[in-house]
Amino acid sequence: MKKFIIDADTGSDDAVAILLALQDPQVDVLGITVVSGNVPLQQGIINTLSTIEATEQNIKVYAGAHKPLVRDYIEIHSLSDFTEHVKSLSPVSASAQSVHGIDGMGDIGITSKFSEYEEKNAIDFLVETINKNPDEITLVTLGPLTNIALALEKDPSISTKIKHCYVMGGTSDGTGNVSAAAEFNIWVDPEAAKRVFDSGLKITMVGWDNSYKYAMLKEDEIKKLRALNSKLADFSVDIQKVLINLTKEWYDFYGFDLPDPITMAIALDNSIIEESQDLHVIIDTRDGITRGQTIVDYFNVENKNKNTRVVTKSSNKKFMNMLMDLLS
């Protein structure tokens, strides 16, 4: 069995990524740590619990950071307010409730019978579990990197004890989804991302470019998922309601992209990677129009250590096959 820890800011795409890991028979999910990002921490915990409940499994959930390392964090519910906030170049971070819903799960009334999460906090769980399982744990991060940065601060030695860390974050082609330069997870907490990318941790970065290029589900793909007549497939589509409306508004077609699930899929099956390069990645932590940018040094101009396997192309076919298989 492969030992996984998942760190998430559980919104509607994190939930599908979590389902993939929980449904993979070769994976033992030791715990899910939650961080503020898409939604505030407590809502992320509720969403994580309701996602686990859908699989009828018993997975431990740990509360992590309620805000980024050094930045304040606010809830913003409307897309126009979020856009204005980003354009104002404010140093304050904000939720993505305008993308995933105020509850983060499409605002369709998802509730959970479960309310219990662990007494132990996420940072202690990460440090203790990694030290107890040196070089055995695959860490998959689906939200801002605050929890991981705090765990590295508590025990820097874990950077050499984590088997591999798959990060949904940044982009390999310079595109941004929050601003022209930045992807949301890095933009929320660039200071945390810098600490993680500079820590020596073995990282595979699956940027948002893989999502909009190779994990965009349109009418046909959604019909195939619905045709499974499965609770998990229907749950996975239903909770995208707000994102579907936004996609229609932004791109003028019916569908949604799945950044966290394609990152999880790659962690579960590396053959989904079609092209990648080991490169140095720099995180811009300055406030301004490039805050949160992942600067990929393709020509090694800065002659720095190649700290990251940057995924530049993934297999949409293999990704869709995995979705159909694990959500059936």
Compute the distance between CA of residue 80 and CA of residue 294 in angstroms, rounded to an integer.
25
Binding mask 123-142 vs ligand RIB (x if CB under 6 A, - otherwise)?
-------------------x
Least Å from the CB of residue 211 to ligand RIB: 7
Between 17 and 127, CB nearer to ligand RIB: 17
Burial class of residue 89 in the structure, from the number of CB atoms within 10 Å of its CB (0-12 exposed, 13-18 middle, 19+ buried): exposed
- 40 near ligand RIB, judged by CB under 6 A: no
Least Å from the CB of residue 3 to Ca ion: 21
- 142 near Ca ion, judged by CB under 5 A: yes
- 190 near Ca ion, judged by CB under 5 A: no
**Burial letters 197-207, b for 16+ CB under 10 A, else e:** bbbebbbbbbb
- 59 near ligand RIB, judged by CB under 6 A: no
The answer to whether the beta carbons of residues 307 and 203 sit under 8 Å apart is yes
Beta bridge mates, 167: 141, 205
Compute the distance between CA of residue 242 and CA of residue 104 in angstroms, rounded to an integer.
9
- 96 near ligand RIB, judged by CB under 6 A: yes
Q: How many residues bind ligand RIB (CB under 6 A)?
A: 17
Between 260 and 284, CB nearer to Ca ion: 260
Compute the distance between CA of residue 146 and CA of residue 187 in angstroms, rounded to an integer.
12
Binding piece for Ca ion, criterion CB under 5 A, among 75-83, 134-142, 209-217, 243-251: 134-142
Spatial CB neighbours of 115, under 8 Å, sequence gap ≥ 6: 49
The answer to whether the beta carbons of residues 142 and 8 sit under 8 Å apart is yes
| Residue carrying the six token digits 């939650």 | 34
Between 11 and 127, CB nearer to ligand RIB: 11
Least Å from the CB of residue 124 to ligand RIB: 23
Compute the distance between CA of residue 210 and CA of residue 241 in angstroms, rounded to an integer.
21
Spatial CB neighbours of 301, under 8 Å, sequence gap ≥ 6: none
Q: How many residues bind Ca ion (CB under 5 A)?
A: 5
- 14 near ligand RIB, judged by CB under 6 A: yes
**Which H or E element spans position 55?**
helix 41-55
Binds ligand RIB (CB under 6 A): choice among 5, 6, 13, 36: 13
- 6 near Ca ion, judged by CB under 5 A: no
Binds ligand RIB (CB under 6 A): choice among 5, 27, 168, 182: 168
Spatial CB neighbours of 309, under 8 Å, sequence gap ≥ 6: 203, 204, 205, 276, 277, 278
Binds ligand RIB (CB under 6 A): choice among 36, 185, 240, 308: 185
The answer to whether the beta carbons of residues 200 and 308 sit under 8 Å apart is no
**Angle, CA of 308, 310 and 311, to the nearest 5°:** 150
Contact of residue 184 among ligand RIB, Ca ion, none (CB under 5-8 Å per partner type): ligand RIB
- 170 near ligand RIB, judged by CB under 6 A: no
Least Å from the CB of residue 195 to Ca ion: 19
- 20 near Ca ion, judged by CB under 5 A: no
Q: Which residues bind Ca ion (CB under 5 A)?
A: 9, 14, 142-143, 260
Q: Which residues bind ligand RIB (CB under 6 A)?
A: 9, 11, 13-14, 37-38, 96, 142-143, 168, 177, 183-185, 208, 259-260
